[in-house]
Amino acid sequence: MTERSLPTYTTILLERDQSLTWLTLNRPERLNAMNATLLEEFSDALDVLAADEETRVIAIRGAGRAFSSGYDIERDESAVAEGHDIVDDYVAHAAHLSRFMRIWDHPKPILACVHGYCLAGATQMCVFCDITVVSDDAVIGLPSIPLGGGYITPLWVPLVGPKRAKQMSFVAGSKISGRTASEWGWANYSVPAEELEDNVRRLAWDIAKIPASTLRMKKMSINRAAEVMGFRTIVPMGAETDALLHSSAAVQELFASIRAHGLKEAIARFHAGGSQGGSEGAC
């Protein structure tokens, strides 16, 4: 049987590894920050791999020294636009969540292989994956500046519980190690960094031994159990709270700081005590 070629993209890579296909976020110069192009290509790749008979399991990883630093708000002018419409804001954020729900609803198992930094919106992506494996020294964290109000950490609650989610959410820039993420239940387990990809590869190959139709039904049945517990209801809530808070005076002040000084300087000014914001970022 002739192996079918996979499409090429500008911000992600698809690579076959026997029954496993690696989906690599490929903007290493930006720590794989997720811009509009990457997210659109990511969605297209999920569709391609859903129909690809040679792909039994998908594993998401990041090129370079990070899994992903989250949404690329510094390059997304709409994220810091003045006079934005609250409904348009909600629709845009709901679209991101719908995109990640496609991981949850995908017919094939999708693993996250996390090394280096996995921050903010990138942690959302991992929550929707079926299995998340992290390196012991990975840095799992939330936004360093409070631009939103509940877009990310409510999705952590089914994994780590409300108290730990609040611990992360209430302090801007909260971070935990991969080892701690495993202990909390955010990740399935952690391994030494040098063993990470080989470990995920072996896991994927073991999963691929199960017939595809059986895997699909196993995934669906476990997802349904999680949905009865409220997961699918939780997902869209963050788009509503963020759209509301983005119109607040406190967050508009932070957006103004980003426009005036750039993201890094705005973050520095916030942590130096020069600005007061909301409770959680959405980058």
Q: How far apart are CA 191 and CA 199, in angstroms?
A: 8
pLDDT at 150: 86
Sequential DSSP letters for the chain: -PPPPPP--SSEEEEEETTEEEEEE--GGGTT-B-HHHHHHHHHHHHHHHH-TT--EEEEEESTTEEE--B-GGG-GGGG-TT--HHHHHHHHHHHHHHHHHHHT-SS-EEEEE-BEEETHHHHHHHHSSEEEEETT-EEE--SS--BSSSSGGGGHHHH-HHHHHHHHTSTT-EEEHHHHHHHTSSSEEE-GGGHHHHHHHHHHHHTTS-HHHHHHHHHHHHHHHHHTTHHHHTTHHHHHHHHHHTSHHHHHHHHHHHHH-HHHHHHHHHTTS----SB---
Residue partners of 184: CB distance under 8 A and separation at least 6: 159, 160, 164, 176
| Beta carbons of 92 and 42 less than 8 angstroms apart | no
Q: What is the pLDDT of residue 124?
A: 96
CA gap 213, 112 in Å, rounded? 21
Mean pLDDT of the chain: 91
Token pair, residue 111, equals: 């693993």
Q: d(Cα 136, Cα 105) in Å, to the nearest integer?
A: 29
Q: What angle do CA 204, 30, 147 make, to 5 degrees?
A: 100
Mean pLDDT throughout 251-257?
91
More confident residue, 246 or 22: 22
Nearest to 218 by CA among 30, 147, 209: 209
Q: Can you tell me the mean pLDDT for 32-61?
A: 97
User: Left if phi > 0, otherwise alpha if psi is -120 to 50, otherwise beta: which for 273?
Assistant: left
**The token pair that represents 147 in the structure block:** 């631009």
Confidence class for position 263, pLDDT limits 50, 70, 90: confident
Question: pTM here?
Answer: 0.91
pLDDT at position 85 is: 87
> For the chain, which domains are there?
12-271 (3.90.226.10)
What is the per-residue pLDDT for 3?
66
Backbone angles phi, psi at 151, to 5 degrees: -80, -30
Helix axes 86-104, 237-246, angle to 10 degrees: 150
Residues 60-116 pLDDT 10s: 999 999 999 999 976 554 555 566 788 998 998 999 999 999 999 999 999 999 999
Query: Minimal CA–CA distance to 62: which of 173, 138, 160, 127?
Result: 138
Per-residue tokens: 132: 């998340």
Closest by alpha carbon to 100, among 68, 137, 75, 133?
68
Please check the confidence at residue 26 and state whether its pLDDT lies above 70. yes
Write down the pLDDT at residue 281: 37
The pLDDT of residue 8: 97
Give CA–CA dist 239/228, Å, rounded. 21
- Provide the pLDDT for residue 283: 38
Percent of the chain with pLDDT over 90: 81
Each residue's pLDDT tens digit, 182-223: 999 999 999 999 999 999 999 999 999 999 999 999 999 999
